[in-house]
Structure 1
Amino acid sequence: MRAVVQRVSKASVTVDHAVIGEIGLGFLVLLGVSADDVASDADYLVDKISGLRIFEDDQGKMNRSVIDVGGAVLAISQFTLYGDVRRGKRPSFDEAAKPDHARPLYEHFVAQTRRLNIRCETGQFQATMSVCLVNEGPVTILLDSKKRF
């Protein structure tokens, strides 16, 4: 699994002109699932994201987690994180999981995040969504459960 984690002061997701998920301080997480991912990949990302110390402490250093600051997560499924353009300019999505494999892992990620008592809002799986955010910093972290980067 791959995640793009953005530290935000606010973020929202809209489907068909209706806001379906919205947070204040926290993380916008764009989450991609590959064909060979399993539940432990989602668990790894939940653990890593919930513990990421990228919020400032009293000394102005990035030293606090989303839990420490009482923040929330907006999790958006995004298969395009597995877009491969090494062979041309049109992305190939061969590594991305099919929806019947990706949906349960996305839902597992959300459920595990909520089990940590982190408020977790979501987008709508397989929908065309509009995502708005205010990236604070900006701070953006890339994660891969296979540790490829």
Structure 2
Amino acid sequence: MATETASREPRTKTRTTASPTVGAAVVKRTRTVAVRLTDAEEAAWIAAALVDGHRQLGAWVRERAVAGYLGKVRPKAGGGGLSPEDAAEVAALRQEMTKWGNNLNQVAKAINSGQVPPVMAEHLEKGWLNRCGQALARMADRLDALDDQG
């Protein structure tokens, strides 16, 4: 079971565009609830959010919590969104793209600082950046194909 904590301090940044309104006044969300998940749990949540037509996991979690508490459910966007299989594939592609992106950011930081470790330099000389670009392009093409299906 996931561990939940609620902050006692208001957040310094809030988004008013996604905030609920009460009457004519905008109500800012100032509280944060953190939940720890395994990679598999996160992938399942992301897949479920995509099936429900959500791109933002936090908005989906909030909606599902409110739906469970108040019995309100928002209709699915576009008449159903992605199939569970496609949503799971999107979640897996997202995780893989995040890993490649994190590695790319580390390489850029090392190059910009002028301190490229020998192991990194060896990988770069062996064409790592080309493989990275090819992998990201393949994933982007697959995401586009899935988007065209939906």
Q: Which has the higher contact order (CA 8 A, sep 6+)?
A: 1
Q: TM-score, normalised by structure 1?
A: 0.22
- TM-score normalized by structure 2? 0.22
Name the structure where strand makes up a greater proportion of residues.
1
Query: Which structure carries more helix by proportion?
Result: 2
**Computing the radius of gyration over CA atoms, which structure comes out larger, 1 or 2?**
2
